Amino acid sequence: MPEASPLAGIHLVSLATNLPGPLAAARLHELGATVTKIEPPAGDALAQGAPGWYSKLTRGQTILRLDLKVETDIDRFADELARADLLLTAMRPSAAERLGLPDIVAGLPRLSVVEIVGSDDAERPGHDLTHQAEHGLLTPPLIPRVLIADLLGAERAVSAMLLALLNRATSGRGGHHRVSLERAAADASDSMRFGLTTPGGLLGGADPAYGLYDTADGVIAVAALEPHFHERLALMMGGSTREALEFAFRAHPTATWLALAADADVPLARVHPST
């Protein structure tokens, strides 16, 4: 018998566009919640920038285009909130004030609100790029290929929504939670701040068993950190110094090393080219 969806019966209304909000809403939908996504008349910019990703993140959701400056659309939005358990936003508090959200929410004591904002100063503008820049996550002049602050912020929004539901189960009342993308970027930089991934750190090049190596036809990543993996790597390669690994890996194509690593139970993977 299939396992019941843990959030069956929970309804989320999301005003959040771009990335963190839609990703968080998609996670809740995967857990069984129903989602109504409210978009402005022009739609979500994510649909223009990455239509395939937008389609993936909104699959199974109800999409409503509403102009929340128009009274009839405000009434329809209020009706949606009246039957919702959660409201997810991604705007500055001043924008929420202009839409009259605080007044609407005040009349719904069981509704929980989760805000995604740029930083602890919620009125300060910013995006993933600026948050990464502030915390040393960029390698100029390269633009980051992974939206670290947005992705971590989305998962924190999921945690905040689940916490809100848990608190309501005991208190009977909704709550308010704020998620800062800049703070998520700050925490992501801790691996460097505490020396783990800085040059010479354990995961920054100090251990030859954790790194990238050229093969006869490509590049592989090896991550044999634990002693048992390290021993198996040394046996498989005939040594575990950086020089020994570099020499051995270049002697054969990637497919050979993948097969040997699978047999030896060593964590090794092909480095696929960026797309």
pLDDT band at 202 (very low <50, low <70, confident <90, very high): very high
Q: Provide the percentage of residues in the chain whose pLDDT is more than 90.
A: 97
pLDDT band at 3 (very low <50, low <70, confident <90, very high): low
The pLDDT assigned to 274 comes to 79
80 touches 101 (CB < 8 A) = no
Distance CA 239, CA 206 (A): 16
For the chain, what are the domain ranges? 11-191, 205-270
165 touches 159 (CB < 8 A) = no
What's the mean pLDDT in 79-101?
Answer: 95
Distance CA 182, CA 169 (A): 30
Q: How far is CA 63 from CA 37, 54, 77, in A?
A: 5, 12, 12
* Summary mean pLDDT of the chain: 95
The pLDDT assigned to 2 comes to 43
Same fold for the domain at 11-191 and the one at 205-270? no
Looking at domain 11-191, its CATH class is: alpha beta
Distance CA 210, CA 212 (A): 7
Distance CA 113, CA 177 (A): 6
List phi, psi (to 5°) of 266: -120, 130
Enter the tokens of residue 126: 């910013």
Selecting from 3.30.1540.10, 2.30.40.10, 3.40.50.2000, 1.10.645.10, what CATH number does the domain 205-270 have? Answer: 3.30.1540.10
Residue 19: enclosing H or E segment and its boundaries? none
Amino acid found at 23: L
Contacts of 137 (CB under 8 A, 6+ apart): 144, 148, 185, 188, 189
Residue range 129-182, pLDDT digits in tens: 999 999 999 999 999 999 999 999 999 999 999 999 999 999 999 999 999 999
